[in-house]
Amino acid sequence: MAAALSQLLDEVARGVRVPYLGAGAAALAEDGPPASPQALCAAIEAKVRAPKRASGNLWSVAQFVENRRFRRTLEAIVQEVFAARPAPGPVQRWLARVRPPLVVDAWYDGQMLDAAATAGPEGWGWVQGISRAGEWRDVWTAAFDGAGRAIGAAPDPAWQMLVYKPHGLIRPGGSFLISDSDYVEVLTEIDIQTPIPEEVRARRTGRPFLFLGCRFDDQMLRSFARQIAKRSAPGHAAVIEGPLSRMEQRFLDEMGIERLDLPLAAVTGAIAAPA
């Protein structure tokens, strides 16, 4: 299994496999913000008591807060929760060093962006999903160069590395998808790929995915992973330790994802090992 993992990581480094980071990758950093939907949901519920029908479900709890306390209150809560900016974890630092053409970063933290920025602003940038709350424009994404300057809705095809954050970025002045209403239109359109930037679609073509720090025990997370990996290449793999839920196993089977039953620490060990 170690040899298989080494091969997968080599393919990421050579740019022929797309890394897809879940919340678990953010958990490798010390003293960081919540690194799972469940932990973020609990942090929100510590501020606002949610009804039983919503409790424990991040997207529903966020919707409850948005309805009862308005969007501004929801944004203030999650920005406070994500105020800590830990040093980027080992996986993010390694990816910033090898610079694959595309990195999908499916959590709200900015570790991947901070890691990439340490090498300077040239040759990379990011594109993220944005909330359409209060928006009148027909726009799904916002793109930024390596210096953090907004450049419109679409990323630059000339960038060596593109970081795609489909759920957005929780930082002051940032935008993100978190409530049920944020996702309604996105999920309506995502099957025909409209919310996914054309440059992301181009860079995934011909490349399978390697899922790191991902769990697929939530329908929202499965829906996004399914559509982002759509029309890529077969041969996906995922590093997921321990027992899988029935829905996770079904998803892996449906997507043709080979599971390596290893802790994410095995990945950090492999990338730290001398070549």
Amino acid at 68: R
Residues 211-233: pLDDT tens digits?
Answer: 999 999 999 999 999 999 999 99
Give how far Cα 52 sits from Cα of 64, 70, 199, 243, Å.
Answer: 11, 20, 41, 27
Give how far Cα 98 sits from Cα of 12, 101, 195, Å.
Answer: 8, 10, 27
Main-chain phi, psi angles of 97, to 5 degrees? -75, -45
Residues 105-157: pLDDT tens digits?
Answer: 999 999 999 999 998 999 999 999 999 765 656 789 999 999 999 999 999 99
- Segments of the chain with pLDDT less than 50: none
Main-chain phi, psi angles of 158, to 5 degrees? -80, -15
6: closest CA among 238, 208, 266, 242? 266
Joined tokens for residue 11: 């393919």
Dihedral, CA of residue 69, residue 71, residue 77 and residue 79, to nearest 10: -170
Strand segments, DSSP code E, in 130-273 are: 141-145, 150-152, 161-165, 209-212, 237-239, 258-260
42: closest CA among 17, 21, 23, 61? 61
Give how far Cα 78 sits from Cα of 38, 65, 74, 182, 236, Å.
Answer: 13, 11, 6, 15, 32
Q: Where are the domains of the chain?
A: 2-37+83-268, 38-81
Q: Which pLDDT belongs to residue 139?
A: 84
